[in-house]
Amino acid sequence: MAAETGALDEAPQREGRVSAGLSARVVDRAPFLVACLMLILLVSVYATLRRGVFSLEELNLDASAAMTLCLAAAGQTIVLLRGGIDLSIGGMISFGTVLAATRFGEDPITATAWAIAIVLIGLAAGAVNGLLVSLLRLQPFLVTLATWSILAGSALLVLPTDGGHLPAGWTAFGNASFAGISTSVWLLVVLLAFWMWFRSTRLGIAIRATGSNEKSAYLSGVSIATINIATYGLSGMFAALSALYLTTQTGTGSPTIGNDYILPSVAAAVIGGISLFGGRGGLAGTLIGGFILTIIGNLVFVLEVSTSWQPIASGVILLVAVLASSIAEKSARGSVS
């Protein structure tokens, strides 16, 4: 009889745990699903205005247009999962493009060496951000704002105006295709494969755990300084990769072009379901957010309206994404209580 009573007492507890688990999944998945619905809706509208939207050629074009943003947003995603933000990616993208445009030359070995050097510079600059955030205990916004200014100024010193030259082989690589699929699409596949591996690594789990609850992560033995250095280092690396890809599309360097990717990189991540408070979301959602912003640009072009509508539409989409995330979280908390 006592055993039956104990079993009955445990039943509500089990139901509560199941309910809490379902609520947590709702919070995690709802913003991502909303982003998917947004993309489907935008693509459907785009398809009514232009032929061949669902063709491989269109996929190649859209991927090429979105890839620079997707790479920048990939680094921003890692930082946001940690609970921070990285404004310095704008300076790093600009600095990376001007270094490539002025240093590559025509020798493939020299170009390859400088490409590797630019990636390492991005990694080092990001690591410095993480070190400063940890040592000075300043807000990431302030630290990365300062390093953004330093990198942007350095870019202007290297190349005061748009220009420079990239080797033909470099730009050909960025616009090449294999089996009818462009380099940009293959890069997206590689990016997703990287994320599938990275999110299950010890570092990936620690970054998410630190973003969710820094104190608990610290008590569990996680080195906050190490996480900060690794997180911002990866963000700087992805910003450098974004700069290198951008040069394959433009064929030149620009000391100010990186500024155009700072806020969109945050917007792409948030639209895709990344929480600004850290610990929630993934790269797949960020890539969807990047494509949403790209499709909005395509719609503005096809409709032949003022380009001023693009940031307006992007802002509306961003508000919808934030509201969806907020509603999902409130609903989940209500169901738990």
Query: What is the CATH classification number for the domain harbouring 170?
Result: 1.10.3470
Residue 9 domain-assigned (yes or no): no
Exposed (0-12), middle (13-18) or buried (19+): which is 55, by Cβ within 10 Å?
Answer: exposed
**283 contacts 77 by C-beta, under 8 angstroms:** yes
Residue 14 domain-assigned (yes or no): no
Q: What is d(CA 188, CA 171) in angstroms, rounded to the nearest whole number?
A: 18
Residue 77: the pLDDT is: 95
8: pLDDT strictly greater than 50: no
Residue 106 domain-assigned (yes or no): yes
Residue 319: the pLDDT is: 84
Averaged pLDDT, 142-158: 95
Beta pairing, strands 177-178 & 181-182: antiparallel
- In this prediction, what percent of the chain has a pLDDT beyond 90? 56
Into how many domains does the chain fold?
1
Q: C-alpha 248: how far from its chain's center?
A: 20
CA dihedral of residues 315, 266, 26, 32 (deg, nearest 10): 70
β-strand partners of 83: none
Helical segments of the chain, H only:
2-49, 56-82, 89-103, 108-136, 140-158, 168-174, 183-198, 202-212, 214-219, 224-250, 262-271, 283-303, 309-336
15: pLDDT strictly greater than 90: no
Residue 4 domain-assigned (yes or no): no
Kind and range of the H or E run holding 181: strand 181-182
Task: Residue 305: give the domain boundaries.
Answer: 34-336
Instruction: Find where tokens 């539409």 sit.
Output: 313
Averaged pLDDT, 56-62: 90
Residue 329: the pLDDT is: 61
Task: Encode pLDDT of 260-310 as tens digits.
Answer: 999 999 999 998 888 888 878 889 999 999 999 999 888 888 888 777 777
Q: What is d(CA 85, CA 63) in angstroms, rounded to the nearest whole number?
A: 25
Residue 17 domain-assigned (yes or no): no
Average pLDDT over the chain, rounded to an integer? 87
7: pLDDT strictly greater than 60: no
Q: What is d(CA 187, CA 166) in angstroms, rounded to the nearest whole number?
A: 20
Residue 5 domain-assigned (yes or no): no
